[in-house]
Amino acid sequence: MRGLKKLKQINFYQKILVLICITFGIAIVNFLYYNYQILKINKNDRHYTVNYDIDEEIKDLSELSINLEGKYIKDLIIKYNTHEDFSIKYTGEVSNEYGFFKEYQKEDKCFSYSNVCGINLNKKAGVLHLQIDKPLQSIEISVDNRLSFNWITFAFWTILINLFFVIFMFFKQLQKKIYVLTFLICMSLGTIFLFSTHNMTTTTLDDDSHYSMANILNKTSKNVSLSDYYLENYVSLFLFQDTKVEKENFQTFLNENDKNYTQTTFKYNNLLETNKICYLPMALTLKLTNLIGLPYTICFFLARCVQLICYSFLMALAVKLMPNYKILTMVIAIIPQSLFLATNFSYDPTVIACITLAFAAFANEFMNKKTKINLKNILIFVLAGLLGIFPKAIFAPFLLLILLMPKEKFQSNQQRQIFKFIIIILFLVTISTFVLPILFNINANSDIRGGNVSVSQQMKLIISSPISFIKVFWKNAVLDTANRMFSVSTFGLLSYYGGMEMDTSYYMFLLAIILAFFTEKNAKNINIKDKIIMISIYLLIFCFIWGSMYLAFTPVGEAGINGVQPRYFIPFLLPFLYCFQTEKLNSKIENSHALSITTVLCILSFALLTYKVIILNYCL
């Protein structure tokens, strides 16, 4: 403990030296941990071809057996030549952590774009049977036990441990500037996602179509490249990229085929449309990096980085603007699901960050009743609010929040009336971007992914049986909203990688939110009338969320509401909790303690989730 305390007293350059030493230490431990089994192996056994036996009755390459003689196998690599994708089913015996052999089963998919696929075992293996579902002309099986450096786990541990040390060593400074701490944590944890997730689409919900939008500036009306085609159409390739060689092969394939064209038809999209304007930062990054001539996958990666930087910056700004509950705002900024989406192609991070920022500007003005309205805050509220609402116009009632501004904040009654008029017109304009397309073409907003959906049929059903609709709405929307706001899928759903469970990481994050809320020293009373209006606005938005998904995503006649994702509620977590503040909450925990405990809880929760869901399953 004394040593740790001394760390706080050393000068800036010594602190940097400590961080460099930690990084080197992690590099050595990381190398030894992931290679100690290989270091024990004879050098000749690190990379060799395996002979296979063909089933005597079938006599082709559809059923093979290989004897791995109980040796340690890191990666089993299959080389092939094919024009169509195929699957391999592996069955046999593989040891567990103690070396006891157990039954093993795995199904892998191999793709025509590459001539290599494989499985990552990291264990001893005996006899394995391979069932191949398509005829192959030739196949070569090899074991890859070569020494390697696991950059992903290195990045994971380095960023995490250094982050703890940075927060510890610079805590005094960061405590005064929580917005800097927020930016630092968002960027650090986001970088872990950038490195540990696959640099491709279909890892996140609908990111293929989001990428297609962001990539529109790079396309000409003459063609669609093969690389674009793979990233915009192929589903969940990453699930089958178990080995390093497969990941590298796919990245090389994308880089080599960005000038080779496909049969896909090109469709124009206009990024200036209100619901697509949120793609502009990513689209401009993709265009600029492409113009410079960077490789395709680097352009893709940099666009993800820009999305993370924008998210972190807006959230840090929101923390800076908040008059109180800065720690709670920081906790909400580092919700793992938001950070995960911020490192991939999605518009949700823009919605979450902009609405949180707009709310911070509102709170800054609303809670400061003594001074007149500050134009800067109002402009931030309107501009950030509009940017957050444009992709999801059903959030438009959020703009009405600013009408709660008390009379005393205005210089004259006339100023107040004009202000109200402007906000109401802005609200009508934004809501019309959602309503007008429905009026002109009632089924335009139907989402065919929902199945047998039809907005017009659903409307007819509601009109013909209103009581049944109320029952369905009550059962789903009313009883399930609180669950959607604070569920494991709200905090920790990492799309197709998997998600948080009701385990330590969830409880840690929930505890961080509770602590951040109850330990606030500057909580103030909000009068009951304002509270009711605020909550009514949020409830109206929640009804819009459920209602829109009922109309557009739920098959006609189904007694449920499909497609309502918990992430839709994340932008309203802070505004909703904020309504319940009261001066009666007189916590004895000091602000610095509350900040350190919540920060540690959030980072640990993130680390547990990421290690369990991504690192263990996809990065070893």
Partner 1 sequence: MEIKRKRYSLYLVIGLLLFLFCFLYPFPVTIESNPISVVAVDYLKKDMIIEKEFIVKYNDLNELKLKFATYQKTDNKGLLNIVIIEKESNNKILDKDINIQEIKDNEYYVLNLPHYKIMKNKIYKIRIKVKNIEEESLIGIYGYTSESEKMFINGQETNNNITIIYNTKKPNYSLLFYPVIYYLIILLIEVFRKK
Beta-strand runs (E) in 461-541: none
User: Based on CB atoms, which residue is closest to partner 1, 9 or 414?
Assistant: 414
Residue 393 beta carbon to partner 1: minimum distance, rounded to whole angstroms = 11
Measured from the Cβ of residue 457, the count of other Cβ atoms closer than 10 Å reads 17
CA distance 304 to 281: 10
CB-hemisphere CA count at 13 Å for 482? Answer: 5
Nearer to partner 1 among residue 105 and residue 220 (C-beta): 220
Residue 102 near residue 93, CB atoms below 8 Å: yes
Q: How far is the CB of 134 from partner 1 (least distance, A)?
A: 21
Q: Which is nearer to partner 1, 432 or 617 (CB)?
A: 432
To the nearest whole angstrom, how small is the minimum distance from the Cβ of residue 441 to partner 1?
13
Q: How far apart are the first and last CA of the chain?
A: 34
Contacting residues toward partner 1, per CB under 8 A: 221-223, 260-268, 270, 272-274, 373, 375, 378-379, 382-383, 386, 415, 418-419, 422, 425-426, 429, 433
Helix (H, G, I), strand (E, B) or coil at 114: coil
- CA angle (162 as vertex; 316, 500 as ends), nearest 5: 70
Shortest Å, Cβ 378 to partner 1: 6
Q: Is 225 exposed, middle or buried (0-12, 13-18, 19+ CB in 10 A)?
A: buried
Query: CB of residue 437 vs partner 1: minimum separation in angstroms?
Result: 9
Angle 108-196-72 (CA atoms, 0-180°, nearest 5)?
50
User: Is residue 306 within 8 Å of residue 345, measured between CB atoms?
Assistant: no
The alpha carbon torsion through 66, 71, 75, 76 (nearest 10 deg) reads -10
DSSP category for residue 136: -
Query: Is 223 or 587 the residue whose CB approaches partner 1 more closely?
Result: 223
Min separation Cβ 371 and partner 1, Å:
13
Rounded to a whole number of angstroms, the minimum distance from the CB of residue 388 to partner 1 is 14
| Beta carbon of residue 450, minimum distance to partner 1 (angstroms, whole number) | 24
Give the span between the Cα atoms of 535 and 37, in whole angstroms. 58
In terms of CB distance, is 181 or 401 closer to partner 1? 401
**Least spacing, CB of residue 221 vs partner 1, in Å:** 7
Sort strands 139-144 and 47-50 into parallel, antiparallel or unpaired: antiparallel
Closest to partner 1 by CB, 20 or 418: 418
Q: How far is the CB of 383 from partner 1 (least distance, A)?
A: 8
For 569-608, b/e burial (b = at least 16 CB within 10 A) is bbbbbbbbbbeebeeeeeeeeebeebbbbbbebbbbbbbb
Q: H/E/C letters for each residue in 550-584?
A: HHHCCCCCCCCCCCCCHHHHHHHHHHHHHCCCCCC
* Least distance between partner 1 and beta carbon 541 (Å): 20
| Least separation in angstroms between CB 419 and partner 1 | 6
Whole-number Å distance between alpha carbons of 190 and 193: 5
CA atoms of 451 and 444, how far apart (whole Å): 15
Comparing CB distances to partner 1, the nearer of 36 and 268 is 268
423: its two tokens: 């906000």
| SS3 (DSSP) at 409 | helix
Tell me the closest approach of the beta carbon of residue 193 to partner 1, in angstroms: 34
Q: How far is the CB of 240 from partner 1 (least distance, A)?
A: 26
For partner 1, the closer CB: 199 or 274:
274
Question: Rounded CA gap, 393 and 210, in Å?
Answer: 17
Angle value at C-alpha 399, between 398 and 403, nearest 5 degrees? 110
CA separation for the pair 308, 313 (Å, rounded): 8
Angle at 33 between CA 604 and CA 36, to 5 degrees: 165
- For residue 475, the 8-state DSSP code is I
Query: CB of 190 within 8 A of CB of 314?
Result: no
Residue 231 burial class via C-beta count within 10 angstroms: exposed 0-12, middle 13-18, buried 19 and up:
buried
Q: Closer CB to partner 1, residue 123 or residue 287?
A: 287
Instruction: Give the up-direction half-sphere exposure of residue 202: CA atoms within 13 A in the CB hemisphere.
Output: 14
State how far the alpha carbon of 605 is from the alpha carbons of 169, 189, 498, 500, in Å: 21, 11, 15, 10
Identity of the residue, 105 or 270, whose beta carbon is nearer to partner 1 in the bound complex? 270
CA 595 distance to own-chain centroid:
24
Query: Which one, 221 or 527, has the nearer CB to partner 1?
Result: 221
Cα 149 vs. chain centroid, distance in angstroms?
Answer: 26
Our CB check for partner 1 shows the closer of 382 and 459 to be 382
Q: Which is nearer to partner 1, 267 or 524 (CB)?
A: 267
